Amino acid sequence: MREPRACGLECVPHGREGARGVIRWVRFGKREAEKMNLFEKLSYVGVVLPTSITGLVSRAGSGEPFDAAGVDGLNVRMYKSWPSDNQRLLDEWSDLCDAHHAGTVFQSPSWQGQIARPFARVGRFRVCSVHRGDSLRAVLPLQVGTANQLETPGEMISDYLEPLVETDGEESAWHSMLGLMSRECQSSGCGSVVLHNVPSDGRCRQIVSRLCGQHGFTLTDEVSAQSGRVPLAKTWDDYLATLPGKERKELKRKVKNAKERAGARLSVTTTEPALSQELERVFRFMESSGGAKGRKARWTYRPMFRRIAAGLAGAGQLKVYSLYLEDKHAAGLVCFPSPNGPLLWAAGFEPEFAKWSPGIVLFALAMQDAIAGGAKYFDLLRGQMRYKSELGATDYALHRLTLRPAA
């Protein structure tokens, strides 16, 4: 792949089987790309420095929100920290995420609350919310990132981050949020507002591009990553029929070999305390692989899931697929259920079982479980690896929207 002009190379490690890193080109200078990558990496181990923006520092640390009038009778609010003392807002946020057509665990308050922890401690976290009376209509978490820009949090480990906005009255809600963010940029000196990991077919892109100019922003819309989604058929045999001959033959051979010669079987865990035990096992598998994958499992995933696993499990937002070979744990896969099918987020396997292709066998058995449950997609999330195409995944573009105040 040829390097585009004026772009920097950024390697973003992912905790997915077979992924040593997702390499992508970003439209920043190389030093800036490395700085952004390091800034976000450090945040996952709790290291975030205070912001240098004077206007934001003076208002940091207070949980009291700044209110402003929106449009069409809406009220828009900017919280300067995580709203831990506003349980009603958090409950309504959860309900909005569950009901939203693009809602996933990554946009939920359970997940975002963990991303927020190091940023809230130093006054770098914000939550923009829109209300009609007492009803929540939209919510947009933000952090003050590198180069003093406001950006959606958790870009490296949160694959989908489209802002949650009620379809009824969404243009008015966006007008209200864009107006408040414009005033925030003017008063505090923020250089830009960046929305990460916005799906190509989401409503956010079309609405923001149409409205941003009315609030003094110019928009840069660029593809930042590709997700891999496997369209599922009604039966396993129907799904296999969609694969090219070579891939279909290999997948059937590997699954048959693992079942007949190693007694391959699948276990699905959804409740505590067994769920936390299975998560620990997956992270140990990932640590044993070493490198960036092992470091993220140890320093980021394990402490984060120790805090949120019980809450996600209680809400039906987390499960672990476990593969047994020769009556032993051979591989594990962390999954987030969604309305359209499972989101397959992180996997690891025991090296001693490598001859049985435990990774691909685990994906195949998990896919059979998803088909039996009526899933529409088997979502392999970001990164373009060969095993994804072998499973029949199609590319699904994610975008980065950068709103810059006009001169």
pLDDT digits (tens, 9 = 90+) for 343-357: 999 999 999 999 999
User: What is the C-alpha end-to-end distance of the chain, expressed in Å?
Assistant: 35
Eight-state DSSP code of residue 217: E
SS3 helix, strand, coil % of the chain, rounded to 5?
40, 25, 30
Cα–Cα distances in Å, from 153 out to 39, 164, 193, 219, 233?
Answer: 12, 14, 12, 19, 34
Q: What is the pLDDT of residue 173?
A: 96
Report the largest interatomic distance among the alpha carbons of the chain, rounded to a whole angstrom: 68
- C-alpha gyration radius of the chain: 22
For 344, the enclosing helix (H) or strand (E) is: strand 343-349
Spatial separation of the C-alpha atoms in residues 181 and 184, rounded to whole Å = 5
Structure confidence at residue 91 (pLDDT):
96
| Number of residues that make up the chain | 407
Burial 213-234 (b: 16+ CB within 10 A, else e): eebbbebeeeebbbbbbbebee
pLDDT of residue 65: 64
* In the chain, ranges of CATH 3.40.630.30 domains: 52-226+397-405, 233-375
| Side-chain-side CA neighbours of residue 265 (13 Å) | 5
Per-residue confidence (pLDDT) for residue 243, from 0 to 100: 95
Side-chain half-sphere exposure of 111, counting CA atoms within 13 A:
25
* Residue 280 near residue 297, CB atoms below 8 Å: no
Angle formed by the axes of helices 87-99 and 109-121, to 10°?
A: 130
Predicted TM-score (pTM) above 0.75: yes
d(CA 388, CA 227): 10
Minimal CA–CA distance to 136: which of 166, 106, 160? 166
Give the domain 52-226+397-405 fold: Aminopeptidase (3.40.630)
Q: Which residues pair with 323 in a beta bridge?
A: 266, 331
Say how many CA atoms lie within 13 Å of 375 toward its Cβ.
24
* Token digits of residue 214: 């009315």
For residue 384, the model assigns a pLDDT of 79
pLDDT of residue 28: 33
pLDDT score at 4: 29
Q: What is the CATH number of domain 233-375?
A: 3.40.630.30
**Residue numbers of the chain with a pLDDT score lower than 50:** 1-36, 54-63
Q: Is 344 exposed, middle or buried (0-12, 13-18, 19+ CB in 10 A)?
A: buried
Task: Give the C-alpha separation, 126 to 179, whole Å.
Answer: 15
Beta bridge partners of residue 143, listed in sequence order: 125, 151
Instruction: Copy the structure tokens of residue 268.
Output: 């699905």
Measure the CA–CA gap between 294 and 202, rounded to whole angstroms.
33
**pLDDT for position 44:** 65
CB-CB contact of 164 with 112 (8 Å): no
* Angstrom distances, CA of residue 204 to CA of 55, 128, 171, 208, 211: 28, 15, 10, 6, 11
The string of pLDDT tens digits covering residues 68-83 is: 777 788 999 999 889 9
DSSP 103: -
Which tokens go with 311?
Answer: 């809450």
- Which pLDDT value is given to residue 274? 96
Contact 366, 342 (CB under 8 A): yes
* pLDDT of the residue at 13: 32
At 393, the amino acid letter reads A
